[in-house]
Each structure stands twice: as C-alpha cells, then as structure tokens.
Amino acid sequence: MTEQKATNVTWHDGEITIDDRSGLLGQRGATLWFTGLSGSGKSTVAVALEKALFERGKLSYRLDGDNIRLGINKNLGFSADDRSENIRRIGEIAKLFVDSGMIVLSSFISPYRADRDQVRALHLESGFAFIEVFVDCALSEAERRDPKGLYKKARAGEIKNFTGIDDPYEEPASAEIHLHTDEMSLEDEVAEIINYLEEHGFIL
C-alpha cells in the first residue's frame, strides 16, 4: 500500500449521494476490471460493451492501459513496482467514477493478483462494486494475434519484462465473469456481460 504523505487532509462528502446519482442515471455505478494477456481482447470487448451500454442509454467510461500511460501514469515504466503503482492509481480513479454513478470499464493486463485484489479492496472498503472480468485467451492465440507486434519484439529480446514471455501472468482465482475470447464471438462476450449487469441490478 502506498504511504500517505500528505497530512491534515480529510475526505469531504457533499449532499448528493451515490444513490442519488444512480437514481438519476437509472444504473448502479461499478468497476468492471478486464484483465488478461496482451492481445487477449480486453480493449476490444470493452469498446463493444461501451457502445452496447450507450445504445441502452447507460453511461460508462473506458480506462484503457495505453491511454492512462499517455497521461497520469506517463512517469511509470514496467518494473514490478511501477506496474503495481500503475494499477493502484487506476483503482483510485475508477473508484471516483463509480462514486459518480458511472459504469467503469477498466482494461489493463494487471498481471499480479495482489494488485487486482488491492483494487477490489479499495472498492469494497467504500461500499462500491468491483467486477473482475477474466479475458482468457491461450498464449499461443494472443501471440498469433499480436496486434501491436509486442510479442514479436519480446521474443526478439527487444522488450523486457513482457507479460506471458519473461514476466508472469497470475490468473484470477474467482473472477465474477470469465470470457474465453479464443472460443467466443465478440457478440457473445458482450451479451454475457450485459446479462450479468442486468441480473445483478447494475443496469435498470
């Protein structure tokens, strides 16, 4: 856990609650945390889900790995410590979005189980929903897809600490949603998530 360096700071609540915002939006805020290997389809399904939710009149926002690293986390690399701090910051950002009543679609490799568990704990401590989505894809298929050419570079030794090649990926022990993207169509993946959100009362 990152040390709190600022002193004499206090969280300030307003008069509008998360329940008030959820009632206005007709949805319950939640973070959907898409985790999986590079090339497994995390961003692809998140983009499709965002569109499907929008068409239903539901507000969501995507937090994508590359987008975040171009801004708030541009000072972080890919060491174990930097990866952990990357995920911690994203977790805090996602929590703020959830408090606003939004459905957050967070797409990050997030290879270490402890880091994902920390984000889950951040949410649960505040009474917010955290839904882990395991975007499961065989390494051989993810490497075949290789949309950014990263596996090729990792195999050539041009990228170090690359998840799945020379750095581990720790699979979720009990993800709320488990997608097999090397076996399912994109439409079926989106439908499975929508069904989960409906059944658990996140979209009304």
Q: What's the pLDDT tens digit per position in 72-120?
A: 899 998 888 888 898 999 999 999 999 999 999 999 999 999 999 999 9
What pLDDT was estimated at residue 3? 67
What average pLDDT does the structure give for the chain?
92
Contacts of 140 (CB under 8 A, 6+ apart): none
pLDDT at 161: 86
Whether pLDDT at 1 is above 60: no
Q: How many CA atoms lie within 13 A of 143 on its CB side?
A: 12
- Active-site residue, from 110, 126, 140, 185: 110
Active site residue 110: yes
Is the CB of residue 39 less than 8 Å from the CB of residue 81?
no
Please report the pLDDT score of residue 66 as a whole number: 81
The answer, yes or no, to whether residue 25 has pLDDT greater than 90, is yes
Is 14 a residue whose pLDDT tops 90? no
According to the model, what pLDDT value does residue 33 have? 98
- Reduced to 3 states (helix: H, G, I; strand: E, B; else coil), residue 2 is coil
Residue 132: pLDDT band (50, 70, 90) is very high
| pLDDT at site 13 | 83
Per-residue pLDDT at 79: 84
Q: Residues 174-189: what's their mean pLDDT?
A: 97
Spatial contact of 94 and 104, defined as CB atoms under 8 Å apart = yes
pLDDT at 80: 80
**How much is the pTM?**
0.90
Q: Domains in the chain and their CATH numbers?
A: 29-199 (3.40.50.300)
pLDDT mean over 57-80: 90
Q: Which helix (H) or strand (E) holds 31?
A: strand 30-35
Return d(Cα 126, Cα 122) in angstroms, integer. Answer: 7
